[in-house]
Each structure stands twice: as structure tokens, then as C-alpha cells.
A and B are shown apart, each in its own frame.
Chain A
Amino acid sequence: MTLLRIEGLTKRFGGLVAINKLDFDIPANSITAIIGPNGAGKTTLFNVIGGAMRPDEGRIVLDGKDITGWRAHNVAREGISRTFQTTALFEELPTWVNLVIGYRMRTRSGVLDGVFRTPRSVRERKETSQRVLEILAFTGLADYADKPAGSIPQEAQKRLAIGVALIGRPKLVLLDEPTGGVGLGETDEIITLIEKIRDSGVTVCVIEHKMRMIMHLADHIVVLNFGVKIADGNPQEVCENPGVIEAYLGEYIA
């Protein structure tokens, strides 16, 4: 079953075509990897799907609903959340507050609820702290709960960013280089976490550079080069695709 369908998606920056008539599907309950050399348009693709940029052409359909050109907060509310390549967190705020903010889109109490401590705000606070505890356990960050997010180790920050994306119960999470900037020896926990996310029923789409890792992790791979899709399939198929070997994987496989 397809969760997200991309049809003829194009994004231009002036004369540069960052993404060119892209078509692919992200199947539900799987890990889809987007790979490609630097400048292939991977992060632009995430920005367009996530609503940070508007596409010039094409359609983005989530679960049968056209979300093309929606703004980032509405895309997030609809069920697509994302992390950023350079880890983005609310750095000066404690880890648990980062998670509280991540869950805000699922709670509705406003300023007046806060001032008067209405039953709704009390109920939603309880609900939020329960969910925060769940995610702290899920991401293994309980020890860091009270520390400012900017002060915890880099690898833990990566997991926190994933936690912030997960806490609002998305249908699809877009992870932009979840192991970027993390030492090779420290990636295992993040890989385990990504597999756990898929097993919990959330579809994952991940941009990665570490090829060996992707071949093990991904169920489905989309290869981009200069904004064009050059291959699409399971890891085996992608590895054997002559176009991919020529354009991108040659040096790794040989």
C-alpha cells in the first residue's frame, strides 16, 4: 500500500532545476531510503514534501489526500514530520520541553486555558507528560530529560530530534541524515531506533550517505542524480542497476 505518492514533482531555483519531474511512491510501514551524490536534490525534496518550499510543478499525495503546496505546520498536522540535516532542536530548553513542544500540535489548549487552568488544559498536560515519558523511553533519552537539549551528546541530540518528530504520532517521518556528524561506532543505536520506528507502524523515509548501512536498513531505495530519479526498487535491484553503478555506486561495488 502506498502512503505517499510523488507525481511529476519539479522544483527550480532560477535556472537551476533541483528536482526534475520526479515520480515515486513510499510504501506504508517500510523504510524508504533516498540516496544520491551531493547536490542530487535530496534535501530539497524533503523541503518540498515537508512544506518548507513550494513545488513548481507536480503533486504530493499523502494517504489519498493532495497536500501539494501546504505550509509546513499544516503538513506536520496532517501526519508528515521531519528532522533536519544540521540537527535542529530547541537548544536552550530541556530535553523534555523539546518533546512537549513536539506534541503541541496534538493538544488544543490556548492561552486562556493556561491562565485559568481549565479542565482541558489539565487533561492535556497529563496526556502530554504521558506521551513525553513514552518517547523518552522509546528513544532511550530518559537520563537526559532535564538537560538542555544543546548540551547533550551529538548522538543523543540526533535521537532527540527523531523523538521530537515522532511524538506527534505522524504517519510518515522524514529523516535527513540521521547519522550525519555521528561517529561510525555510535550509529548502531540510531539504526536500531529507525527499525523500531518502522516496527511501531510509522513509515520512515531517510536520506543517508552511509551506503553499507542503507543496504541493510532500507526496504526500498530511490536513487537521485541531478534531480532526476535514476533507479527505484529494493536494495538488490538498485545494486544491480547498471545506471546506478555507473553514476554513483561504481566505486563502492567494485
Chain B
Amino acid sequence: MKKYARIGLYLLVLAAAIALPLLLNMSRKGKYQIQIFTLAMVWAIATLSLNLILGYTGQASLAHGAFMGIGAYSFAIMVERIGINFWLALPLTCLVTAFIGLLIGLPSLRTKGPYFAILTLCFNVIVVVVFFNWTWLSGGTAGQKLTIPSYLSQRWVRYYVVLFFLILVLLIERQIVKSLSGSSLIAVRSNEALAEAVGIRSFREKLIAFTASCFLVGLAGALFAMESGNLNYNVTNYLYSFYILIYLLIGGVATLAGPVVGAVGLYWLLDRIEALGEFRYLIFGLILIVFIIYLPRGVVGGIKQLWEWAKGRWTRKEVPSDTPAYRGPDEEVRGIGSD
């Protein structure tokens, strides 16, 4: 019964996502909104990729902005300068980004916790500097142009392309975290010393998760390039790493729906209040503080908690006395591993 309700909800959201451009296409303002939602979904893919390494494997990467930029540039350069077919360049971009991720992961994943976050942030800053100075690579002030196939020139077509990839990434991530290998990743996040003691090669697992995560964020970068049409060095900005992190924290860490809810919701909201200019980031910060304090598991985690609470009320099932309701803030953030 509950399973059918869940599938029903997914189908409803899917139907809404499919119908959205049809509705928005009716007005001129709406046409612009299609692009907003397309970009929001690109960020959702990037957030899902961060979720794999941060949410499930517990390693806070702050280099995802850089990898997204690397993906975007690899894609544009492959299509524009080398002349590789658009659809062939997409998987190649993912492979290139994953490979660079592997190279970066090899040294940086030997560190733990905050040190890993600092190292990846450093890498991101380096990438920004490199793209800023190597104008032969980044195209300098003129930027790197990307011409897309003519059938992609309509906004709504690109919307559906990105929607397709978002669903694909969601399915891939679901398969990973629900598989046996997913349980190894979650084990590393949950208790690394114990994971090692039961034979899990934690460094290897982290490296796999990081590489897979970079593979997916490379896809987000390529789709970002497709949607923007022109890239400059700023796509590698480390601020994007933090945006992705914030989307993830607010949507819900270690959930599948959370990254999508967080990225689409916040990106859309930021566009709504664009008139406020730089001040909107104040609102951004305020939302973040409220969430960290009151909803540490994000929107999706909060809804889940509410659902459990409501279920308990309706069925009046007694909570067994040996179940402590609250096990400190740390437990709350970590959440239940899968789903």
C-alpha cells in the first residue's frame, strides 16, 4: 500500500515535470522560466553527484565546482575544437572528468574529515587560477563558444534532454546506494574503523565513490555548457562548490529526493528574488542557518520525520522503551543510510 502511494507520488512529480514546459511555453515570461528550470535540473544532477561522496560515503568534497567547470570545458572543447559528435562527447566528458577525479582522489582521499574538505577546496582554487591564466584553454575574455545541434536550439527541447539525464542519474544513484557496493560506501561513512576491521578497503571505496561522483558531475558540466552556449573561466568557481553543498544540505543529505528538491527549489527561489541583487545571499544564509538548527536532515529528511511521527500518532503504536528518540545532533545529521 505504502509502496503504491510512493510510486504514485513519483509519477505525479514526473507528470508535472513533463507538463511544465507545455504550460510555460504559453507566455513569453514563461519561456525564460523554462531555462531557469533546465539549469536548476543541471544543478540537481551536480548535487546528486555530491550526495554520492558526501551524503553516502561521508567525504565532504569542495571541488565539485571545479569538476563541473572541467566537465563543461572538456565538453565544449571536444565538440567545438576537436569536432567530436555532440552525443559521443557527452560520455567522453564524463570519462575525462572521472579520470581527473581519480587523479585528484588518489592523494587527497588519504586525508580525513576537514583535511579532505580543505584539500579539495585548494584544488578548486588552483583550477580557477589555471583557467583564468591559460587563455588558450579557457578562451580568455571571449570565452569558449559551444555550438549545439540545431534541433536543440529550442529551450523546451533542452529541458527534456536535461530532465531525461536527471532521471537517469537518479536511477543510477538509487541502484548504487541500494546495492552491496553501496553498503560498503555507507559503512565507510558510518564507522570507518569498524569497516576496516570487517575487511572493507575504505580508501578504495572512497576512491570509487569520488570517481563515480566526478563522472556524474562531469555530465552536469556538459549539460551546463549546452544550456549556456558560452563558457568563461568562472564556471570553475569554488563558490559553485558551496552552492552545491548548500543545495544538498537544505534538500536532505543521504536521501535521493533531497538533492533534487534542494537544487530545484533553491535555484528557482534565487531567481525569483533576483531583484534583491547581492542581498539575496543574505536570505540564502538565513535559510541555511534555520535548516542546520531545526532541520539538520533537510527538507526531505524533515518530511520523513514528520511522516514517521504522524504514522505513530494515527496508529497509536507504542514506541518501545529501549529506543532512545534522540541520540545527539551527530546522529540526526547522519540519518538512515539508504533511500
- Residues of chain A having any CB pair with chain B under 8 Å: 50-52, 71-74, 76-77, 81-82, 84, 88-94, 97, 100-102, 104-105, 107, 109-111, 113-117, 121, 124-125, 128, 147-148, 150-153, 164-165, 168
Given known pairs A97-B183, A97-B337, A121-B179, the reply for A91 and B190 (CB within 8 Å) is: yes
Apart from A89-B194, A151-B327, list 9 A-B contacts with CB within 8 A: A51-B196, A73-B196, A88-B191, A91-B190, A92-B337, A100-B183, A101-B195, A101-B198, A147-B323
Complex Cα distance, B190 from A104, in Å, reads 15
A90 near B187 with CB under 8 A, answer yes
Query: Which residues of B from 319 to 339 have beta carbons under 8 Å from A?
Result: 322-324, 327, 331, 334-338
Given known pairs A73-B196, A115-B175, the reply for A128 and B180 (CB within 8 Å) is: yes
Residues of A contacting B327 with CB < 8 Å? 91, 150-151
Q: Which of B142-150, B199-207, B232-240 contacts A (4 or more CB under 8 A)?
A: B199-207
- Of the candidates A84, A111, A147, A151, the one whose C-beta lies within 8 Å of that of B212 is A111
B202 near A109 with CB under 8 A, answer no
- Residues of chain B having any CB pair with chain A under 8 Å: 172, 175-176, 178-184, 186-187, 190-191, 193-202, 208, 212, 322-324, 327, 331, 334-338
Residues of B contacting A92 with CB < 8 Å? 190, 331, 334-337
B199 near A73 with CB under 8 A, answer yes
List 6 A–B pairs whose Cβ atoms lie within 8 Å, in order of A's numbering.
A88-B197, A90-B187, A105-B198, A111-B181, A147-B323, A150-B331
B184 CB, nearest partner CB in chain A, Å: 5
Residues of A contacting B199 with CB < 8 Å? 73-74, 76-77, 81, 104-105, 168
Residues of B contacting A81 with CB < 8 Å? 197-199
A104 CB, nearest partner CB in chain B, Å: 5
A121 near B198 with CB under 8 A, answer no
A108 CB, nearest partner CB in chain B, Å: 9
**Interface SS of chain B:** helix
Complex Cα distance, B182 from A51, in Å, reads 25
A106 CB, nearest partner CB in chain B, Å: 8
B197 near A93 with CB under 8 A, answer no
A103 CB, nearest partner CB in chain B, Å: 8
Complex Cα distance, B200 from A107, in Å, reads 11
A110 near B208 with CB under 8 A, answer yes
Complex Cα distance, B175 from A93, in Å, reads 18
Complex Cα distance, B178 from A105, in Å, reads 17
Complex Cα distance, B180 from A117, in Å, reads 10
Residues of B contacting A151 with CB < 8 Å? 322-324, 327
B180 near A93 with CB under 8 A, answer no
Complex Cα distance, B6 from A146, in Å, reads 20
Residues of B contacting A152 with CB < 8 Å? 322
Residues of B contacting A101 with CB < 8 Å? 183-184, 186-187, 195, 198, 200
Complex Cα distance, B202 from A50, in Å, reads 16
| Closest Cβ neighbor of A114 among chain B residues | B179
